[in-house]
């Protein structure tokens, strides 16, 4: 499961900040250690091994809180300054290099859908802006070009510093554009519901989520009472074809009992309530499956990429802890990518 902005991109962002702000003071070390600082908050992935719900509970937690950078940054900066000879006048450069890298990591993660606990442990609220996908080559390429210029012209050169600064401005603007695009898609869907005269359109809950590898195709989830509509809407094509599928949310006490389990409550919190449950029969007996609706494929709108499965006894009550599952892609990766780009730019 890919839950955060890919680590490579986080390292690139930390390196770009090092290049733009401290390349002249620290040379190539600013790029290398800026990348390390940008990667460090994801050390919390070790908590994934605490159990099947470990990733949901702990990833993007303490090390992604807004206080972590200001506390850990000066400590790591002091260690780096001592390690590299206590150069006069360089302590502040090392300190702010780590502080910025540790702080910009969670801020970048907020622009994805996974949700980042910026205020933990004071609050477990998950902050998300749904602006860009967890893997976005265009965003990463902006940073790669700047870093290549820096290495070519020399990390301590003015050209390197300017390239890093320009990349940071452009990449930040790209994130802002992604957020604006997401809001525009939601406004378009709301306007379409009103124009169709859909029952309850004025009170519909409309949420839009980025898909993989590009900025424009959005997975939109609309809740109209018990009806859920899942659509694939392109922000590139204002008047193009939109693919919509719908289903009715099942009302079943067995599903509510599964949601009330520890694993069910964790998933509801993690997915910000954007879930759907169903009762399934299998060789091992009856169970409830609850899916995260924010991520999924066009073929089966009610199925997400992951969720939990809660076994039931003969009375329809949970008979054991919920188990985490990841659904396999039903199509080849190449076919899936072609579908995503076709829906985004061509259909």
| 67-108 tens-digit pLDDT | 999 999 999 999 999 999 999 989 999 999 999 999 999 999
Residue 5 pLDDT: 58
Residue 2 pLDDT: 44
User: Which residue is listed with tokens 């967890």?
Assistant: 134
Residue 201 pLDDT: 86
- The model's pLDDT over 144-188, given as tens digits with 9 standing for 90+, comes to 999 999 999 999 999 999 999 999 999 999 999 999 999 999 999
String of b and e for 294-318 (b: at least 16 CB within 10 Å)? bbbbbeebbbbbbbbbbbbeeebeb
What are the CB-based long-range contacts (under 8 Å, 24+) for 326-329? 326/1, 327/303, 329/297
Asked, for residue 192, whether it belongs to a domain, the answer is: no
Asked, for residue 247, whether it belongs to a domain, the answer is: yes
Same structural domain for residues 172 and 27?
A: yes
Residue 312 pLDDT: 97
Asked, for residue 321, whether it belongs to a domain, the answer is: yes
Same structural domain for residues 141 and 248?
A: no
Domain end marker among 133, 165, 180: 180
Total domains present in the chain = 2
Domain assignment of residue 326, given as a range: 203-347
Same structural domain for residues 222 and 313?
A: yes
> pTM of the full predicted structure?
0.93
Asked, for residue 197, whether it belongs to a domain, the answer is: no
Residue 11 pLDDT: 97
The residue ranges of the chain whose pLDDT is under 50 are: 1-4
Same structural domain for residues 240 and 305?
A: yes
- 69: tokens are 């950078």
Asked, for residue 191, whether it belongs to a domain, the answer is: no
Helix/strand/coil for 282: strand
Same structural domain for residues 218 and 134?
A: no
Residue 60 pLDDT: 94
Same structural domain for residues 169 and 23?
A: yes
User: Which residue is listed with tokens 């998933």?
Assistant: 267
């Amino acid at each position: 499961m890919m839950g955060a902005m890919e680590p490579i991109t986080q390292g690139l962002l930390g390196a770009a900040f090092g290049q733009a702000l401290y390349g002249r003071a620290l040379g190539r070390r600013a790029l290398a250690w800026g990348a390390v600082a940008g990667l460090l908050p994801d050390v919390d992935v070790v908590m994934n091994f605490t159990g099947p719900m470990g990733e949901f509970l702990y990833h993007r937690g303490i090390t992604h809180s807004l206080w972590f950078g200001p506390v850990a940054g000066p400590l790591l900066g002091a260690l780096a300054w001592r390690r590299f000879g206590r150069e006069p006048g360089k302590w502040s450069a090392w300190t702010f290099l780590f502080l910025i890298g540790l702080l910009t990591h969670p801020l970048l993660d907020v622009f994805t859908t996974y949700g980042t606990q910026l205020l933990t442990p004071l609050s477990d609220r998950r902050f998300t802006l749904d602006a860009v996908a967890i893997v976005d080559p265009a965003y990463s390429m902006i940073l790669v070009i700047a870093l290549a210029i820096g290495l070519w012209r020399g990390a301590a050169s003015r050209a390197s510093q300017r390239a890093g600064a320009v990349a940071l401005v452009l990449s930040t603007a790209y994130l802002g554009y992604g957020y604006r695009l997401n809001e525009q898609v939601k406004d378009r869907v709301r306007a379409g519901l009103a124009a169709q005269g859909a029952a309850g359109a004025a009170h519909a809950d409309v949420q839009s989520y980025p898909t993989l590898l590009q900025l424009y195709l959005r997975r939109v989830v609309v809740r109209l009472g018990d009806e859920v509509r899942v659509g694939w809407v392109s922000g590139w094509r204002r008047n193009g074809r939109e693919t919509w599928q719908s289903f009715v949310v099942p009302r079943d006490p067995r599903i509510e009992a599964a949601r009330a389990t520890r694993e069910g409550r964790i998933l509801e919190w993690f997915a910000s309530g954007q879930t759907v449950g169903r009762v399934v029969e299998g060789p091992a007996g009856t169970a409830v499956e609850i899916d995260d609706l924010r991520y999924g494929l066009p073929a089966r709108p009610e199925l997400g990429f992951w969720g939990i499965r809660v076994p039931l006894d003969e009375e329809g009550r949970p008979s054991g802890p919920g188990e985490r599952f990841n659904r396999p892609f039903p199509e080849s990766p190449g076919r899936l990518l072609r579908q995503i780009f076709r829906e985004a730019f061509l259909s």
